[in-house]
Structure formats: C-alpha cells, structure tokens
Chain A
C-alpha cells in the first residue's frame, strides 16, 4: 500500500526488553483506533444503501434490511454537473501549478540570482496566509476584469496561491540533484533553458507526481475559493454537495451517497498514489 517518503526504511524492532510495552498490547490499541477512525465510513456506506422506509432513528446503526442503490442514482444525478466542473478545474489547475513550480524550484535551487533566498521566504509566507485576507480584493479584481463567477477565474486563483507550495516541493527535490550535472552542461555550452529542458526535466518525474497529486487533491477538496468565486453554473463538487446536504428535504441516504461520490476521485488517488500525496503533505511542514 502506501509507504511514506518521510520514514526511512521501517526498522526491525530492536531486541525486546523487559520494560517495553508488550507488542500485542500496542497492536490491540492501534486496532481499536482503526475501528474509531473507520466509524464515519461505516455510517456513510450503510446509510447510502438504505431505502427511505428504514430512515428512522431506531435503525440508525443497523445494516440495511433491503439494499438499494436508489439513493446513489439520485445523488449522482444531482451531483453530476459539479463533478464535471471539478474536473474542468482540477486538471488544468494542477498542470499549470506543476509547470510554474518546476521553473521556480529550478531557478531557486540551481540557477540562483542574488536575493533568491529572500524571494523564497516571501513565497513561503504565501503558503500560510489565511485566504480570507485576500478574498474580498480578489473578488473585486475579478469583477472588474470580468472573469468573476467562472471556472477560469477559479483556476487562476488556485494556480497563484499554489505557487508557494509547488515551488517548495520542486526546490526541495532539485536540491538533491548534483551540481556537477549543471556544471557539465555549462561546460558543454548549454544555456539555462537548455539545461532545464534537457537535463533537469527528464529526472523530475517524482516531483511532478507529488505536485500534480497534491494540487489535484487540494483543488478538488477546496470549498472556500469555490464558494467565494463561482456562480451556480460553475459550482464544483464541494459547493454542490454542501447545497444538497444543507437542504433539510434531502434524505440522509442521498446525502451520504453524494458525500461518497464527491470523495471517490481523491480516495482513488490516495489509495493508488498515496506515497506522493504524503510527500506533498510533508513538504508543507517545511522540512527540506
């Protein structure tokens, strides 16, 4: 499954000592936490397959007596436009982010200019700002540029505010490339773009994977930008889901089915490519 990039190779436990916690006790505790962590997932799944007739409190935790996919069908109908919008947002958004991140990361680690460190630190602050602090001016700017309310404006916002984390991930990755490679290219008369394109990009696969997956997940799950910057025709999944779930009239089974549907793409990414997602997560902790 997923192995984190941060932990070194899992070490085998050192020789057992009398004072150590018995292994089985630790195992049982960890297993108990697994059950607690999966509780919400149980509820989501079980409820989503229930017919409306079983929606009373006394059966809240029981398995459905009649399994039905009716709630799923309705939820899919309701959520479909939002999911389409989310893909229109996340795919260009994460690719653009990766392109910018690669260029910045390369220059700030391998083709430095005077003051590069200051620029980098100023970028990093952008990673931590609460976006509430830029939201009102952002809306006003987009209204005056006439890109307010649509997907392109939302992509622009995500790409711009994604620059810090994407730059950080690429920079941390490029630091590990030996300087001799750059020198060799320079001796051969290659300029900056040539070096970047022929030497650095071909070995950047892992960093691209981390950034694309990280941005895909962040953009897919974002609610704040979406709710401030998009109108009804371009609402992504999260806003649609919040409207479905916020309506008192929508039965629980449909709400839960919609919540699962909204999470399928990011869950797939996490299960299949969790390693890269983890690295993005760890980069956010600023450990080079």
Chain B
C-alpha cells in the first residue's frame, strides 16, 4: 500500500465510520425487512401459532386475486388515485396560477391553503365523516344539509357510501389536505422562470397566453413530475384517512386497510405480507425510475 493511498484512506475513513450506524440501520430496517416481508409472503404461515412454515413460491400472490375483497380494494385504490392525484394537481396548480404574479395578502392565502398539511388525518377525519354523512332529507347533516340550505338540494348524495363514486368522495378530504402542498411546489416553479425570458417573449410579440404556453409551462414540467410522484405514492398507501372516515368497511376498502385487517383481525401474517408486497411493488414502479432520474439530474448540475 502506497503512502498516498494510505493518507487518502485516513482522510475519508472517519466519515464512513460516522455514517456506518445509519447505513446498518437502513440496511436492516429498510432493505432487510422488505426482503423478509417478501420471504414471508412466499410461505404458508397463515396463523401466528404454528412453528415453521413451508415455502410456497408465488401461491399467495395468485390466490389473493380469488378474493372478492382484494379485487374491490384494488379497484378502489385506482379510483381514489385518479381522483385524488388529478384533483390535487388541478387545484394546486390553479391556486399557484392565481397567485404567481403576486397578490395582496399572499402570505395569508398561503398559510390558509397549507395548514391542512400540519394536521393529522385522524383529526380531520372526524369532521369529514360528519361533513360527508350520507343522511338525506330530514336526516341530513353536514354538506347535504348545507346544500339544502343554499338551494342546491339536488347535490345531496351518499358520499363515500356510494357504490360507484364512493371512493371519489373519499378523495375530497385528501385533495383538501394536499392541494396546498402542490400549490407551494407550483408557486416555486412559476417564480423560478426568469423574468428576462418572459420579457423577451413579450418583446417578440407574444401575447400573455402565448408567454405562458411557450415559456412558462415548459418550465413547470419537472415540478409537475415531482408532484405526480409524491401524490401517487401517497395515494397508493393511503391508510389513516380511510380508517378515520369510514373505519374498516368493505365499501371503502383499500389495500393498506385490507392488510391491517389481514394481520390483526384474520391473524394471517403470510396474507398480510402478500398485500404489503403488492403495495411496495406498486410504489416502486413509480419511484425507482424517478430516483434514478433525480440522481442523474443532480450529477449533471
């Protein structure tokens, strides 16, 4: 070993040692446990008492699709994701667009739109369950009662108890909670567009809408992608919102709640692990390409 190499090693080794505890923790608790969970999903450990379990390959992954409740929860998750991601993106974008050129009281507006982020879903679930109460006519409380009062009685509906659109209603509180965050992301994006570029486009005779179309919106693509990934992965693992608004009812079941039921009510570790593995795979499809893209982008800059 040359002297030079030894002195280099001496320089970076302490740093590696300082990070080692975290590397070990992440290795065990993130990667080790993900692996352990996948292994468990491939066994026949369907109770918590029997010792030892057999390796059954992908049997559980296939068997899950025979269960009506699983298919239902997947469909629910898809509807919820489409409405929630679409709604939060649209509303967040609109709020940012209305504010981007500066407006009186901007700080106050931002504070109001963002405060739901600081509250737990368990707390807001209490009020949303009341707001989206399915009682109608004489029995109506919440939003249905409000619709009656302002002459929009025809809008009364079953909310999350609806057979077809129940999960779309369930996305409303999630949109309420997350659109302020999307607004903040887009606002940062809008303000990141150099004013000179806008000016140049105007000098070239662009109308204001053309400035947006050809200069500003292309600039927002990376922000939109970030927002999509963040909303998407939150949506796929949604749990406390559902539990706090409707509990464990099958009518609003999603994979994360179904997994909880499989572990705690059915006492079936292998089935719970299988559902969890599906959630991980769904999120990984979104996130892994994004992380790679992000790492490359950092290298370039």
With A33-B95, A270-B118, A285-B230 in contact, do A133 and B14 touch (Cβ < 8 Å)? Answer: no
State whether the Cβ of B197 lies closer than 8 Å to any Cβ in chain A: no
Q: Are B26 and A123 in contact (CB under 8 A)?
A: yes
Q: Are B243 and A126 in contact (CB under 8 A)?
A: no
Q: Are A121 and B295 in contact (CB under 8 A)?
A: yes
Residues of A within 8 A of B12 (CB): 111-114
Of all chain B residues, the one with the shortest Cβ separation from A260 is B123
A129 CB to nearest chain B CB (Å): 6
With A27-B104, A113-B13, A192-B15 in contact, do A137 and B22 touch (Cβ < 8 Å)? Answer: no
Task: List B1-53 residues whose CB lies under 8 Å from chain A.
Answer: 12-16, 18-19, 21-23, 25-26, 29-34, 36-37, 40
Q: Are A40 and B176 in contact (CB under 8 A)?
A: yes
State whether the Cβ of A178 lies closer than 8 Å to any Cβ in chain B: no
Q: Are B30 and A129 in contact (CB under 8 A)?
A: yes
Cβ contacts B161-193/A at 8 Å (1 or 0 each): 000000000000000100011001101100100
Q: Are B109 and A30 in contact (CB under 8 A)?
A: yes
Q: Are A103 and B19 in contact (CB under 8 A)?
A: yes
State whether the Cβ of A1 lies closer than 8 Å to any Cβ in chain B: yes
Cβ contacts B229-246/A at 8 Å (1 or 0 each): 010010011011001100
Q: Are B176 and A136 in contact (CB under 8 A)?
A: no
State whether the Cβ of A185 lies closer than 8 Å to any Cβ in chain B: no
Q: Are B269 and A136 in contact (CB under 8 A)?
A: yes
Interface-side segment among A12-20, A66-74, A200-208: A12-20
A208 CB to nearest chain B CB (Å): 17
* Chain B interface main SS type: helix
Checking A60, A133, A269 against B37 with a beta-carbon cut-off of 8 angstroms, the contacting residue is A133
Of all chain A residues, the one with the shortest Cβ separation from B91 is A33
A133 CB to nearest chain B CB (Å): 4
Q: Are B19 and A40 in contact (CB under 8 A)?
A: no
Number of inter-chain CB pairs below 8 Å: 299
Of all chain B residues, the one with the shortest Cβ separation from A191 is B14
Q: Are A135 and B112 in contact (CB under 8 A)?
A: no
Q: Are A274 and B111 in contact (CB under 8 A)?
A: yes
B228 CB to nearest chain A CB (Å): 11
With A112-B12, A130-B256, A138-B33 in contact, do A281 and B117 touch (Cβ < 8 Å)? Answer: yes
A118 CB to nearest chain B CB (Å): 9
State whether the Cβ of A177 lies closer than 8 Å to any Cβ in chain B: no
Of all chain B residues, the one with the shortest Cβ separation from A161 is B29
Interface-side segment among B67-75, B79-87, B133-141: B133-141
State whether the Cβ of A44 lies closer than 8 Å to any Cβ in chain B: yes
Q: Are B118 and A60 in contact (CB under 8 A)?
A: no
Q: Are A241 and B207 in contact (CB under 8 A)?
A: no
A178 CB to nearest chain B CB (Å): 18
Q: Are B115 and A267 in contact (CB under 8 A)?
A: yes
Give bound CA distance, A137 to B33, whole Å.
6
Cβ contacts B276-298/A at 8 Å (1 or 0 each): 11011001000110010011001
Checking B18, B106, B112 against A107 with a beta-carbon cut-off of 8 angstroms, the contacting residue is B18
A156 CB to nearest chain B CB (Å): 9
Residues of A within 8 A of B102 (CB): 10-13
Residues of B within 8 A of A267 (CB): 115, 118-119
Give bound CA distance, A150 to B287, whole Å.
32
Residues of A within 8 A of B251 (CB): none
Residues of B within 8 A of A52 (CB): none
Task: List B113-172 residues whose CB lies under 8 Å from chain A.
Answer: 113-131, 135, 138-142, 145-146, 149
Q: Are B130 and A43 in contact (CB under 8 A)?
A: yes
With A4-B184, A61-B149, A241-B122 in contact, do A136 and B114 touch (Cβ < 8 Å)? Answer: no
Residues of A within 8 A of B22 (CB): 100, 103-104, 123, 163, 167
Checking B33, B110, B207, B283 against A4 with a beta-carbon cut-off of 8 angstroms, the contacting residue is B110
Q: Are A192 and B14 in contact (CB under 8 A)?
A: yes
State whether the Cβ of A227 lies closer than 8 Å to any Cβ in chain B: yes
Q: Are A132 and B280 in contact (CB under 8 A)?
A: yes
Checking B111, B243, B277, B280 against A223 with a beta-carbon cut-off of 8 angstroms, the contacting residue is B243
Give bound CA distance, A108 to B247, whole Å.
43
Residues of A within 8 A of B103 (CB): 13, 23, 26-27, 30
Q: Are B240 and A223 in contact (CB under 8 A)?
A: yes
Cβ contacts B259-277/A at 8 Å (1 or 0 each): 1100100000100110111
Q: Are A30 and B138 in contact (CB under 8 A)?
A: no
State whether the Cβ of A245 lies closer than 8 Å to any Cβ in chain B: yes
Q: Are A133 and B279 in contact (CB under 8 A)?
A: yes
State whether the Cβ of A277 lies closer than 8 Å to any Cβ in chain B: yes
Task: List A223-261 residues whose CB lies under 8 Å from chain B.
Answer: 223-224, 227-228, 238, 241-242, 245-246, 252, 255-256, 258-260
With A121-B291, A130-B233 in contact, do A277 and B118 touch (Cβ < 8 Å)? Answer: yes
Of all chain B residues, the one with the shortest Cβ separation from A261 is B123
Cβ contacts B84-109/A at 8 Å (1 or 0 each): 00000000000100110111111111
21 residue pairs of the A-B complex, CB under 8 angstroms, read A11-B102, A39-B131, A106-B18, A107-B18, A111-B12, A112-B15, A113-B13, A116-B15, A128-B287, A129-B34, A130-B256, A134-B33, A137-B33, A223-B244, A241-B122, A241-B126, A245-B126, A245-B244, A259-B122, A274-B111, A286-B226
